Structure 1
Amino acid sequence: MSETDLPAPDSDELRQLLTREDLRSLYLFLYDRRRNPPTMVEIRAHAAAANGESHSQTDRRVRELRDWFRLPVVRTGRVHVYRLEGRADEQQGERSGVSPKVRGEVLSAKRCAQCGKTPAEDHVKLEVDHKIPHSWGGTDDMENLQPLCTQCNHDKQAFYSSMDPFEEQIRTATAHLEPHRRIGELLKAFHIAGVDTPSRVVGVVASMHQYQEDWQKRMRELRKLGWDYDTIKRKENGRIRSYYRLTAFTDWPDGNIAAEIKRREKAKKRAKS
């Protein structure tokens, strides 16, 4: 699909495709800015002026629009911009989404999976959250869903939206079930792009399928497989941020990665004794 496949902003086709005014407003803004794609700061400013939306609401609209259209984040100089390129390869906007039955099963836990608050005791409202967002390759499968209270869900969306510029690299890694492979493939994707990997992105990707209490240990264990990386510290907005720069990598071993790491650790100990 190409830019020529984009429906005109005032067309009946677009009104049938995007039934909500807020989505059509965002589409119109991005459509008009095809030759000069906007940054997220500009998108948020437009949405606030046009619809009075908060940042988290705008971030959600961007993710929703990707159900119908390709909207990659592209690095231009020192900034990242959102470029409307064409229709999505698959019209995800037509999917059935989370069924009422599955939604009920997810919410039956009656407790926020993040803060532990409950509707009965804390008077919070629970929402169905996708552990891995659709835009990062997540699905509507039960394993990818969890109950979150409204506040935790909004906080998570705001945090995840800050990583939108790295969406392409994140999608490369999310499909892998083993944390070592997710981390390694993420480092490789950033390496190929010529960009250092932010530690906060590594932490999120490492815990996507199962929470990793010590994902830094998984990082260090990659060295036992012949991988290596440098750690870079940078001061940004008054805070010290950590980044990783991949310097060496090898093919993944056959079979279970964690088991192979343990095997090599034991072999090294035997060699020393």
Structure 2
Amino acid sequence: MAGHPLPAPGSSELRELLARDEARLLYKSLHRRECSTGRLSRAQLDLWHRNAVDGQPPLENLLEDLERVFRLEWRGDPQASESTVALVGWAQRPRTTQTDALDVQPISLRVRAQVLESKRCSQCGRTPDDHGVVLSVERMLPISWGGSANIENLHALCEECAVGRWQYLETFAAHADAIRVAVTYDEPQRRIGELLRTVHPKWIRSDVLGVVASAKEYQEDWQRRLRDLRFLGWDYEVQKTGQEGVRVWSYYRLTKSAPWPANIPQAIKDEEALRKAKRRG
């Protein structure tokens, strides 16, 4: 992980690394080094623990959470009130809290610079110069759902939008296993189709389909990729609901599936041409 910046407090990357809210609060305190010397003493940590999280979970458990992923440098006996600690980097082999088998995928400095080149939050449009926000590089699709460190899966978000997007993605949690399988496929049509097939006979909301369709490359018109399924022998039904706040959502459910052709784009073109010929005839 050498050269890979530490995640920003409040970022989705940090949420994938530290499961507990309290551990993320401790990370934030250490990341910002909220003391004049740039380090926190054990006494300050104990005070933070009592005031910020009301003493639970135990401080040692939270420190263990951090040390599984990050390197903490202690000066003195960690149990002594006068000892100090600083967050100095990554652990030698950081792991996500989702599963011990899943390695953290570092984002290279070159890719990070490319994502931040616009100097603007891709969600709200605010900039560091005009609005004083801090931008971080975030994954559109989380690591735990199959998201990669490729630039197609990255965007720049301010801290507020990063927190909001993570909370939004958590509403998809019921479909996490199905999403993880679907995003392994190269073609957006197949990603959509396999997601529909995996969750069948349940309905799935349109925004989940959109996220999966864009998992490997952004799909400006993912609904067209959905309609492509009908050229491949698949079909689905759709219903709309206005029961979720003021927004009307579309829900989709698979009604028919078929084997995937060896060349999906070519099969779609051939079927389109065949149907156009029949209409002309």
Tell me if structure 1 keeps the 8 A contact 2:145–2:176. Answer: yes
* CA-based RMSD: 3.5
In structure 2, the partner of 1:127 is: 136
Equivalence map 1:1-273=2 (5 Å):
22-23=22-23, 67-69=96-98, 88-90=99-101, 92=103, 95=104, 97-99=106-108, 102-191=111-200, 194-234=201-241, 236-237=243-244, 240-255=248-263, 257-272=264-279, 273=281
TM superposition shift of 1:105: 4.4
CA distances 1:221-263 after superposition (whole Å, capped 9, x unpaired): 21111101122344535665432221111111112x2332122
In 2, Cα distance between the equivalents of 1:258 and 1:166?
27
- The more displaced of 127-136 and 263-272 is 263-272
CA distances 1:187-226 after superposition (whole Å, capped 9, x unpaired): 01111xx422222211222223333333222222211111
Partner of 1:229, secondary structure, is strand
Unaligned runs of 5+ in 2: 1-16, 26-51, 57-64, 70-94
So what's the TM-score if we normalise by structure 2?
Answer: 0.60
Unaligned runs of 5+ in 1: 1-16, 26-47, 53-60, 70-87
Identity %: 42
Q: 1:241 to 1:50 in 2, by over 3 A?
A: farther
So what's the TM-score if we normalise by structure 1?
Answer: 0.61
Which gives a bigger RCO, structure 1 or 2 (Cα 8 Å, sep 6+)?
2
Partner of 2:196, secondary structure, is helix
Q: 1:123 to 1:267 in 2, by over 3 A?
A: same
Tell me if structure 2 keeps the 8 A contact 1:22–1:51. Answer: no
In structure 2, the partner of 1:73 is: none
Partner of 1:128, secondary structure, is strand
Q: 1:96 to 1:149 in 2, by over 3 A?
A: same
Partner of 1:163, secondary structure, is helix
Q: 1:258 to 1:125 in 2, by over 3 A?
A: same
Q: Report which of the two structures shows the higher radius of gyration computed on alpha carbons.
A: 2
In 1, Cα distance between the equivalents of 2:203 and 2:161?
29
Q: 1:183 to 1:117 in 2, by over 3 A?
A: same
CA distances 1:124-150 after superposition (whole Å, capped 9, x unpaired): 211110121112111234443222122
Return the letter of the residue paired with 1:90. A
Tell me if structure 1 keeps the 8 A contact 2:153–2:217. Answer: no
Matched positions, count: 201
CA distances 1:71-129 after superposition (whole Å, capped 9, x unpaired): xxxxxxxxxxxxxxxxx35153xx47335565444334422233433212332211110
